Amino acid sequence: MDDIAASAQPLNAGSGDGLVRRISLLGATGSIGRNTLDLIERHPEAYEVVAVTARTNVEELAATALRTRAEVAVIVDETRYDELKQRLAGSSVEALCGVDGLVEAAGRPADLVVAAIIGFAGLKPTLAAVDQGATIALANKECLVAAGSLFTDRAETAGARLLPVDSEHNAVFQAIADNDEASIAEILLTASGGPFRTFTYDDMKSVTPAQALKHPNWSMGAKITIDSATLMNKGLEVIEAAHLFPVGADKLGAIVHPQSIVHGLVRYIDGSVLAQLGPHDMRGPLSYCLNWPRRAPTPCERLDLATLGSLTFEPVDVERFPAFGLALAAMAAGPGMPIVLNAANEIAVEAFLEGRSGFTEIARLVERTMNRAEAGGMVETPADIADVFAMDEWARSQARALVNEF
């Protein structure tokens, strides 16, 4: 589709075209960051690493920066800045710290920026990457959930192309290819259903963080793993899809597919459904973004359908997984409510992971924060990014207060 495909320079760095791409990794020490490094370090001749960043893991950050000969390494936690400088001493890698350092590094000229910070914290640096007109391999769905069209408009103004890393959106992007937006009847994202797919709602009241962190198929960071268990992740992804593929909310949906082999499907007006299948390995979608619009070999396992035997599908049960319904309601309420939804969810997930609240309280806390926002007339369309930050901050403070009431 026009907004994300078509005229950009090919990025096919791993495909042996002899060109060198400047690449930055925001969130280099996370699950997506490490998977990206695994791919690019197989082609050191094809990449020049500009920036690598991390929140607290200074040891891994410094090792990554030295190994990849990055231009700059940023540690967000300023108390670890001295350690970063010590670890990089004698090398050519520059050390920066704090959110200012992160934003500065994200704005350094690069061909491709992998936006793989978790949560709303990724918005500011990703905007800096957008503003310099880089192609963005966008893993941080919270940017689109919270800032929505303010984010996509800014990308368009700067000439920054957004390539979706999220496996479902990457699948849809591939399944749309050159098809006309008007010929799309429906876009469906698949959901594994998470570790509690077969649990009753009452069963879920007593599950522990350790149980929720055991995703049946994917290995990911903690926050998105909990979001996958509540199905909030799928709700956030429907909102993400609404911004990446603006076909109208009534044409977007999700379906549970426990094997996580079909990642996304597009039904066309003639009844044809095009789907993308692949092993559940994020190096697949990441490689597609790194090499787009071409393809390159990956170390992913070959998909063996005969051994798998069957692929099954079932509807999303919003009674047992109310977080999904809340996300759809937030999307329907207009651009302000997804900011509240996302902020409250981040607070609720943190409280659950820290043992301060229960699993089913995650959705309850999000719902109560959304109700407060509505009752307080807080859900206006944000006029600019400053409004997005203000609404996020307001929702966080409300959600923090509500956690203590549970």
Strand partners of residue 74: 53, 96
Q: What are phi and psi of 262, to 5 degrees?
A: -85, 125
CB of 369 to Mg ion, least distance (A): 24
CB of 375 to Mg ion, least distance (A): 32
Locus of tokens 């044809």: 272
Q: Which long-range contacts (CB under 8 A, 24 or more apart) does 1-9 make?
A: 1/176, 1/181, 1/245, 2/181, 3/152, 3/156, 3/162, 3/244, 3/246, 4/161, 4/162, 4/163, 4/164, 4/173, 4/244, 5/173, 5/177, 5/178, 5/293, 8/135, 8/161, 9/111
CB of 237 to Mg ion, least distance (A): 5
Q: Which does 33 bind (CB under 5 to 8 A by kind): Mg ion, ligand NAD, none?
A: ligand NAD
Binding segment for Mg ion (CB under 5 A), chosen from 163-171, 238-246, 281-289, 296-304, is 163-171
Nearer to ligand NAD, 32 or 261 (CB): 32
- How many binding residues for Mg ion (CB under 5 A)? 3
β-bridge pairing 47-54 and 262-268: unpaired
CB of 213 to ligand NAD, least distance (A): 12
Q: Which does 224 bind (CB under 5 to 8 A by kind): Mg ion, ligand NAD, none?
A: ligand NAD
* Distance, CA of 271 to CA of 310 (rounded, Å): 23
Nearer to Mg ion, 32 or 73 (CB): 32
Contact 161, 250 (CB under 8 A): no
Helix (H) or strand (E) holding 186: strand 184-191
Q: Which does 221 bind (CB under 5 to 8 A by kind): Mg ion, ligand NAD, none?
A: ligand NAD
* Distance, CA of 245 to CA of 99 (rounded, Å): 30
CB of 276 to Mg ion, least distance (A): 13
Residue numbers at the binding site for ligand NAD (CB under 6 A)? 27-33, 54-55, 57, 76, 102, 116-118, 121, 139-142, 166, 218, 220-221, 223-224, 282
Nearest to 12 by CA among 135, 108, 129, 105: 135
Contact 137, 163 (CB under 8 A): yes
Number of residue whose CB is nearest ligand NAD: 30
Nearer to ligand NAD, 80 or 372 (CB): 80
Helix (H) or strand (E) holding 137: strand 135-138
CB of 232 to ligand NAD, least distance (A): 11
Is position 166 an interface residue for Mg ion (rule: CB under 5 A)? Answer: yes
Nearer to ligand NAD, 379 or 395 (CB): 395
Binding segment for Mg ion (CB under 5 A), chosen from 80-88, 161-169, 253-261, 371-379, is 161-169
Nearer to ligand NAD, 218 or 268 (CB): 218
Binding site for Mg ion (CB under 5 A): 166-168
